[in-house]
């Protein structure tokens, strides 16, 4: 019987070689390791892995009606959605769009997580994980960070380091990129989030009892939660003025029409709180989807999709919140416009319709209208269908319109140039 002696240092080399071969995916003499992430293209694995990468899913196509090139940033079999139009969509440096997806949900188990898609190569990075993904996600206005509530803790996420580490295969645990800013008392349930323009505080609402809500402020320096006001209705769509500190807009939320939708709260240098309705509604006004349009203006809709509303002129309006000057920006056919957003210079408005058409409107000439793309809600002629709400947002540089679409799947995110000429 022959005995073969294997020295310890040779054993290490053999094991190392075996590991290399097993990780290299060499099959029948062909090394497939360079393509070992291709199977993630359609998310078939569905694994929740913090910091993982998905190959680009983007697909560019020319709109069949307008001829304008549209870029579908997601095309997977899952539901991918941009964040709500009242909040920033791009990281502060403009390099990434943050969106949500249920691509790691299996058999209906597991919720939506957050992902960053590169504007350079359209690759996707997972940036939240599991039950710790948080609520009321809000990107920084000026810093590459994000804020979220986990239970009653306000947490800041260092997105810049997280994404960089992920790209360099140096990803750590999710908690290593998080900093606890403050803890809200257990008696208060946080809902919604608005980040103050100076990024030193956030605002949120909370239900006190049926038909009574309150707005609170969390001060980053002291960590204190301060009650600002109570109102006799449910609060929704709370958003801070991105340009001026101590100001925020919110709405009387009903899930539909309300007696007076839009409200404005401001805090002066002495800490005094003022609360007032903005655009005082008439009986046949249905106001919806308000957003900021610069430091002194808001943009909103007067809905026109049912007969009783057509007593008044409906369409997209802007309001100077300092002077109450109102400006009409036009109305579309077949039920009218639905959501709206504007370029930072306030020159152009993006308005959509119930049947999935997206228009560019000259803010100074309501007759100067251009159809950018269509077909994104093929089955819909009203707001009450299951197809995606476009919820369009304009990029910080004013060049792109980001929106949800049901053209290919139940929900994808796409971008189209604001000025394709």
Strand order in the sheet with 201-209: 191-195, 201-209, 212-219, 225-231
> Are 169 and 200 part of one and the same domain?
no
Determine the structural domain holding residue 166 and report its residue range. Answer: 50-58+74-179
Q: Encode pLDDT of 364-397 as tens digits.
A: 999 999 999 999 998 888 788 889 999 999 999 9
Note whether residue 189 is domain-resident.
no
Q: Which long-range contacts (CB under 8 A, 24 or more apart) does 373-377 make?
A: 373/63, 373/65, 373/66, 373/68, 373/70, 373/414, 373/416, 374/63, 374/65, 374/66, 375/63, 375/64, 375/65, 375/407, 376/403, 376/404, 376/405, 376/406, 376/407, 376/414, 377/406
> Are 419 and 299 part of one and the same domain?
yes
- Name the token pair of 194: 């608005």
Q: What is the per-residue pLDDT for 148?
A: 96
> Are 300 and 390 part of one and the same domain?
yes
Q: Work out how many domains the chain is built from and give that number.
A: 3
Q: What is the per-residue pLDDT for 37?
A: 65
CA distance 47 to 167: 18
> Are 308 and 386 part of one and the same domain?
yes
Note whether residue 13 is domain-resident.
no
> Are 138 and 170 part of one and the same domain?
yes
Note whether residue 172 is domain-resident.
yes
Note whether residue 256 is domain-resident.
yes
Note whether residue 210 is domain-resident.
yes
- Name the token pair of 186: 């257990």
Q: What is the per-residue pLDDT for 12?
A: 44
Q: What is the per-residue pLDDT for 25?
A: 79
> Are 299 and 273 part of one and the same domain?
no
> Are 412 and 312 part of one and the same domain?
yes
Q: What is the per-residue pLDDT for 341?
A: 98
Residues of the chain with pLDDT under 50: 1, 4-8, 11-22
> Are 254 and 316 part of one and the same domain?
no
CA distance 184 to 216: 10
Q: What is the per-residue pLDDT for 11?
A: 47
> Are 201 and 175 part of one and the same domain?
no
Q: Which of 163, 95, 116 is nearest to 397 (CA)?
A: 95
Note whether residue 361 is domain-resident.
yes
User: The pTM is what?
Assistant: 0.90
> Are 169 and 201 part of one and the same domain?
no
Residue 234's Cα: distance from chain center in Å? 22
> Are 396 and 351 part of one and the same domain?
yes
Q: What is the per-residue pLDDT for 17?
A: 41
Note whether residue 384 is domain-resident.
yes
Residue 209 dihedral angles phi and psi, to the nearest 5° = -160, 180
Q: What is the per-residue pLDDT for 18?
A: 41
Q: Among residues 146, 179, 212, which one ends one of the domains?
A: 179
Q: What is the per-residue pLDDT for 379?
A: 84
Q: Among residues 118, 150, 179, which one ends one of the domains?
A: 179
Domain at 414, CATH number: 2.120.10.30
Note whether residue 125 is domain-resident.
yes
Q: Among residues 278, 303, 329, which one ends one of the domains?
A: 278
> Are 224 and 317 part of one and the same domain?
no
- Name the token pair of 263: 């409200």
């Amino acid at each position: 019987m022959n005995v073969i002696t294997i020295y310890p240092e040779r054993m290490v080399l053999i094991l190392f070689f075996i590991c290399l071969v097993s990780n290299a995916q060499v099959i029948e003499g062909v090394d497939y390791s360079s393509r070992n992430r291709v199977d993630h293209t359609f998310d078939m694995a569905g694994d929740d892995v913090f910091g993982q990468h998905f190959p680009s899913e983007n697909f560019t196509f020319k709109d069949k009606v307008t001829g304008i090139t549209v870029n579908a940033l997601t095309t997977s079999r899952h539901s991918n959605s941009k964040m709500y139009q009242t909040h920033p969509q791009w990281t502060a440096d403009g390099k990434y769009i943050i969106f949500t997806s249920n691509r790691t949900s299996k058999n209906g188990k597991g919720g939506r997580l957050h992902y960053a898609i590169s504007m350079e190569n359209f690759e996707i990075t997972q940036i939240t994980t599991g039950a710790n993904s948080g609520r009321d996600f809000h990107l920084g206005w000026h810093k590459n960070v994000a804020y979220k509530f986990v239970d009653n803790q306000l947490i800041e996420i260092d997105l810049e380091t997280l994404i960089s580490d992920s790209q360099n295969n140096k990803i750590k645990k999710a908690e290593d990129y998080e900093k606890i800013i403050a803890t809200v008392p257990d008696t208060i349930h946080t809902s919604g989030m608005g980040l103050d323009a100076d990024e030193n505080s956030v605002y949120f609402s909370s239900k006190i009892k049926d038909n009574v809500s309150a707005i609170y402020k969390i001060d980053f320096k002291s960590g204190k939660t301060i009650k600002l006001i109570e109102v006799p209705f449910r609060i929704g769509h709370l958003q801070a003025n991105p340009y001026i500190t101590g100001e925020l807009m919110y709405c009387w939320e009903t899930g539909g029409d309300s007696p007076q939708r839009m409200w404005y709260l401001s805090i002066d240098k002495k800490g005094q709180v003022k609360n007032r309705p903005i655009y005082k509604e008439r009986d046949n006004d249905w106001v919806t989807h308000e957003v900021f349009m610069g430091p002194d203006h808001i943009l909103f809709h007067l809905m026109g999709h049912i007969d009783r509303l057509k007593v008044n002129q409906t369409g997209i309006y802007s309001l100077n919140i300092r002077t109450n000057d109102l400006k009409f920006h036009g109305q579309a056919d077949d039920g009218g416009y639905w959501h709206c957003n504007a370029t930072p210079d306030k020159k152009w408005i993006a308005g959509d319709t119930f049947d999935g058409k997206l228009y560019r409107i000259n803010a100074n000439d309501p007759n100067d209208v251009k159809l950018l793309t269509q077909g994104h809600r093929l089955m819909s002629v009203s707001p009450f269908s299951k197809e995606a709400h476009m919820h369009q947002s304009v990029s910080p540089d004013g060049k792109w319109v980001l929106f949800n679409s049901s053209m290919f799947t139940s929900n994808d995110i796409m971008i189209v140039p604001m000025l394709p000429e």
